[in-house]
Structure 1
Amino acid sequence: MKLVGDLTTAGLRAAQAWTVRREQPEAWREVSRMHGVFLSLLSPGCGPATPRDLIKFLHRPMREWVPLDWDSLPDEVGSFKILGADDLLTGDAVEYGSDYSEALFEDHEAGIDWVPRWARQTFERVERAIYTVLSSAGQEEYVATRQMLIEVPAGTADRVSDELHARGALHTEAYEPLPPDRQFVVGSESWYVPCPTCKWPMHVQGASLACRYPPHFGRFQVTDERDGSGVPRVRGPVVASALSAADVVCVHEAVWRYITVPGVTEVALMRWLADQAGIGGDAVTKWPHKDRWDITVRAGATIFEVDLKDTRSPSKITARPPRARHVVVPDYRAWQVAQLRRSLPAGYEVRTVRAFKTAIRSALKEAR
């Protein structure tokens, strides 16, 4: 797996450099360097012949052109394109790259402008820094802080400060100024559009907008139209609204990926459970023991201890089996259920959110 991680990281670095080759002439050197990494890691004659060949190959899944024993590796490894038809990193590459971006990054390279932020400062390091603060909290402070990072991933600095105090949440330094790649200019003002699912600012490419998390809604377009208040109209698969970018902050990308994104499903399930007749809010414990698992809920005579897992790589779940017996994955990860049932030790119950709700209803029905 380390070899695959090294190859993936090299491909991600080459791809990111390629996307800014017109603005950053030094990026060509990075592409050449990463081509050299591929040649050093693969057997003679098995790698791309030239740096341009490397870029061409990155538009295809690595399983199609890297000669490895892929059958011995998890199905999701090497199954995605790193560069899309638009010559930008694909959403899958950004998501999966967060798992494999440490291998070739050294501290002295942290200032390279074209290296993506999720690679310059790896997600795991940022996540650990946030949890260092959370670990010092009492249970109530922990819940309040974590829920705020999920429910308020962006907003004006004043709003974030007000929410912090109103919720009794801890100051974690999770928020940073809204990055330029999340903003667009219409008229003389800067705007951003929160993802309709996670509320984090969507990535901007010209007039096109998209959440960097692939399972969330697809692409949106900024139009030339304005509403009655002068706000640019946004078109897409669902309703999305532009907001002023003035004085806006948002959670760091690592916090968004590892706390906000999975938390959207966690909090939605918590609310659904609390609304069920026969359960109620007092029977739902959020992130017990400061996230030893995600939810404890009593439904009739049954106590469910639940760990909700939202990752592209089921092998990451099986490598570190959850502490809770009930493992729940989002409905859009339904394909993982069979694999997890095969791979996790005996005693685990693996379901989608939809199937878990059915199990809760059955438990409540038996209690009646």
Structure 2
Amino acid sequence: MTSPMDEGAQALDDDRVRYLVTRAALRAAKAMTAPGLEPQQRLTTLMECHGMLHAARGPGRPLAFGEFRRALRGDLAVLLPEGVRPLDLGGMLVVDQDGQVTEDAFDLDLEQQMLLHTLRKLDTFAGVVSDRDLQSEIDQETAFTLLRKQGEQAVYEAGRKDLIRYPAGPVDQLCELRLPPLVADFYREIPFDSVYRGWWFPCPVCRWPMRVVVRKNAGTSIGAARCWHTPHVDMGASYLFRLPADGSAPELLPEPAPPRPEGREAVLYPDLGEVPQALPAEGHKAITRGIWRYTTVPGLPELALYDRLTERGLRVSLWPGLDAYDLLIEVGPKRGKKTTFKVDVKDYTSATVLGSLVHAQEGDRGGADWLVVPDYRARQVPLLSGVCAKYGDMQVATASEFGELVCEKAGVSWT
């Protein structure tokens, strides 16, 4: 009979294997798709990744180099050794039809990094991966630490709001943000795969540079720009453009967008506004991908909830206690006992990884009693509710569901 301790150790080992397989596949896919690499450099990287894959799969489970390369354009789960459950790797592509690394593969890699970094800090997984491997998670943690070092709640709030609202822009404007110099250093040149002949386009939802590709369509080349965050693409952050022959700025043409939702979900749904204009890459910078993905992106529903609830007369605090959790909402009479809601907002592509993170932290160590996910993650609620039920009264809801519930408690209308 397998003991709970043995089962826990096996689960951790499987997490490590899934992480190493994803890491090897993602790095190899980047080498296959990145322009400008010399053939020998590309081959060397692929061989190193093939070796990393073998280290993850263990002895007696070899995979030929040719099979490894072919598998990079198919289902990621094929690369796992027998006996390791694929979970979110099942059906996931690393390289898409445009020959580009997929957004979901990037997300899963970052989320696995965050989980393993947390496990290592809790001494559950000491020595599994290096600081270099976990750099994206370390970047985010470093940025938050630098903001907290000021020791003032107002300074922390201002800086974090700037990271959410201004993830990219002109260097002269970014210099005016309320950020410590070392945090401002996380703004870098516009990523090369978001630039077309010196131009880039901000996503209308999150303002970070959109991904740019050139496709062949019936013998004609056409450009495409879409957000790196798939849910933003699904909201309408997806465009086509003709390739100017004279080097002028391309003009985006929106692809068909879905209708706006009705009812309670309409309150938080973003307004895409006007079609984004091309901006010169020179003189502009963008925050690093890890900080954008796990500060800017989940920060949008955080600020949207804050704004909508405040507009309805509720008392709401952002990141209280220098980020013990994300939102503190107080409902009740001015004098007398109040009902409080302590909220953490999470936006993970993988519900399984997020559930493992909650489990590793035994709920929320900052004291949150609600885990809120964006409306487009509604399918994650049942799984996360099952995990959170093990740790006291922590409840799970989508952002709109939660907003409606709080407003009902306060006796005001959400819609």
The one of 283, 305, 310 equivalent to 1:247 is: 283
Aligned to 2:143: 130
Q: CA deviation at 1:233?
A: 1.7
Change (3 A) 1:106 1:348: closer
Give, as a single letter, the amino acid of the residue that structure 1 aligns with 2:140.
Answer: E
RMSD: 2.7
Match of 1:284 among 304, 313, 316: 316
Following the alignment from structure 2 to structure 1, what is the Cα–Cα distance between the partners of residues 371 and 26? 31
**Equivalent residues of 1:198, 1:260 under 8 A apart:** yes
Percent identity, please: 27
Counterpart in 2 of 1:333? 377
Are the aligned partners of 2:358 and 2:387 in contact in 1 as well (CA < 8 Å)?
Answer: no
Q: Is the 8 A contact 1:325 1:347 kept in 2?
A: yes
Q: Report deviation, 1:104.
A: 6.9
Residue correspondence of structure 1 range 230-309 to structure 2 within 5 A: 232-237=250-255, 239-245=274-280, 246-276=282-312, 278-279=313-314, 283-300=315-332, 301-309=338-346
Aligned: 1:90 with 2:102: yes
CA shift for structure 1 position 43: 5.6
Give the C-alpha shift of residue 79 in structure 1. Answer: 4.7
Q: Is the 8 A contact 2:147 2:179 kept in 1?
A: no
Task: Tell me the equivalent position of 2:44.
Answer: 29
Distance 2:179 2:37 in 1: 41
- TM-score, normalised to structure 2, is 0.74
Match of 2:392 in 1: 346
Q: Deviations over 1:217-261 (max 9, x none)?
A: 1532222589xxx75320234553123224112212222112111
- Tell me the residue number matched to 2:202: 194
Contact persistence 1:153–1:260 (CA under 8 A): yes
Instruction: Give the letter aligned to residue 322 of structure 2.
Output: K
CA distance, structure 2, for counterparts of residue 285 and residue 62 of structure 1: 42
Please state how far the C-alpha of 1:304 moved relative to its aligned partner. 1.1
Counterpart residue identity of residue 363, structure 1? K
Structure 2 distance, partners of 1:178, 1:232, is: 17
| Alpha-carbon distance change, 285 to 348 in structure 1, aligned in 2, over 3 angstroms | same
Alpha-carbon offset, residue 45 of structure 1:
6.5
Aligned residue in 1 for 2:195 = 183
- 1:42–1:356: structure 2 CA closer, same or farther, 3 Å change rule? same
| Residue range with higher mean Cα deviation, 8-17 or 59-68 | 59-68
Amino acid at match of 1:291: D
C-alpha separation in 2, matches of 1:69 and 1:270: 45
Q: State the alpha-carbon separation in 2 of the partners of residues 177 and 37 from structure 1.
A: 30
**Mean Cα displacement is larger for which, 122-131 or 349-358?**
122-131
Letter in 2 for 1:155: G
Confirm or deny: 8 A CA contact 1:194 1:240 kept in the other structure: no
1:312 counterpart letter in structure 2: T
Residue type of the alignment partner of 1:252: T
CA gap of 1:53–1:85, structure 2 versus 1, over 3 A, is farther
Q: 1:69: how far off? A: 3.0
Taking a change above 3 Å as real, the CA distance of residues 254 and 355 of structure 1, as seen in their structure-2 partners, is same
SS at match of 1:310: coil
Task: Give the C-alpha shift of residue 36 in structure 1.
Answer: 3.0
Write the letter of the residue equivalent to 1:364.
Answer: A
CA distance in 2 between counterparts of 1:175 and 1:3 reads 32
1:99 maps to: 111
1:319 equivalent to 2:360? Answer yes
Q: Distance in 1 between matches of 2:79 and 2:141?
A: 35
SS in 2 for 1:89: coil
Q: Is the 8 A contact 1:94 1:212 kept in 2?
A: no
Instruction: Determine if the alignment matches structure 1 residue 222 to structure 2 residue 241.
Output: yes
Verify the 8 A CA contact 1:196 1:217 in the aligned structure 2: no
Cα pair distance change 1:105/1:205, threshold 3 Å: farther
User: How far, CA to CA, are the matches of 1:208 and 1:45 in structure 2?
Assistant: 44
Check 1:366–1:32 CA distance in 2 against 1; reply closer, same or farther (3 A cut): closer
**Hey, what does 2:260 align to over in structure 1?**
none
In the TM superposition, what is the alpha-carbon distance from 1:42 to its structure 2 partner?
2.8
TM-score (norm 1): 0.82
1:179/1:33 CA distance change after superposition, 3 Å = closer
Deviation at 1:23, TM superposition (A): 3.1
**Deviation of the 1:106 alpha carbon:** 8.1
With over 3 angstroms needed to count, the CA separation of the structure-2 counterparts of 1:233 and 1:33, relative to structure 1, is same
